[in-house]
Structure 1
Amino acid sequence: MTQEPSAVIPLLIARIRRINNLIAIAAGLVLVACVILILLDIVLREVGISFGGAEEISGYVMAGVASWGMSYALTELAHVRIDLIRLRLRQRGRAMLDLIAIVALALTSVVIAVQCWPVLAKTIERGSSANTALETPLWIPQSIWLSGWIWFSVCSCLLVILTLVLLVKSRFDDADALVGARSEVELES
Structure 2
Amino acid sequence: MAHQILALMKRLNRWVAMLIGIVLLGCAAFVLVEIIIRKLGSSLGGTDEISGYVMAIVTSWGMGFALLELSHVRIDFLRGRAGALGRSVFDLFSMTILSCTITLIALRCWPVVERSLSNGSRANTPLETPLALVQIPWFAGWLWFAIVAWFTLFAAILLILRGEFDQSESAIGTFGEEEALK
Q: TM-score range by the shorter chain?
A: over 0.9
* RMSD between aligned residues: 0.9
For structure 1, the 5+ residue unaligned runs are 1-7
Which structure would you say has the larger RCO, counting Cα contacts within 8 Å and 6 or more residues apart?
2
Matches of 1:34 and 1:97 in 2, distance apart? Answer: 39
TM-score using structure 2 length:
0.97
| CA deviations over 1:146-173 (Å, ceiling 9, x no partner) | 0000000000011111111111111111
| CA deviations over 1:22-57 (Å, ceiling 9, x no partner) | 111111111111111111111101212111111111
Matches of 1:132 and 1:142 in 2, distance apart? Answer: 16
Partner of 2:52: 59
Amino acid in the other structure paired with 1:162: A
Whether 1:149 aligns to 2:142 is yes
Whether 1:37 aligns to 2:30 is yes
Superposed, 1:1-189 pairs within 5 Å as: 8-189=1-182
For structure 2, the 5+ residue unaligned runs are none
Matches of 2:38 and 2:179 in 1, distance apart? Answer: 48
Alpha-carbon deviation of 1:133?
Answer: 2.2
CA contact (8 A) 2:102 2:142 kept: yes
Matches of 1:43 and 1:132 in 2, distance apart? Answer: 23
| CA deviations over 1:111-159 (Å, ceiling 9, x no partner) | 0000000100110111001122222111011001000000000000111
Matches of 2:4 and 2:83 in 1, distance apart? Answer: 28
Matches of 1:104 and 1:133 in 2, distance apart? Answer: 41
Matches of 1:157 and 1:9 in 2, distance apart? Answer: 12
Amino acid in the other structure paired with 1:132: T
Amino acid in the other structure paired with 1:104: I
Over the matched positions of the two proteins, sequence identity in percent amounts to 40
CA contact (8 A) 2:60 2:142 kept: yes
Alpha-carbon deviation of 1:58?
Answer: 0.2
Matches of 1:125 and 1:147 in 2, distance apart? Answer: 18
Which 4+ runs in 1 deviate beyond 6 A?
A: none
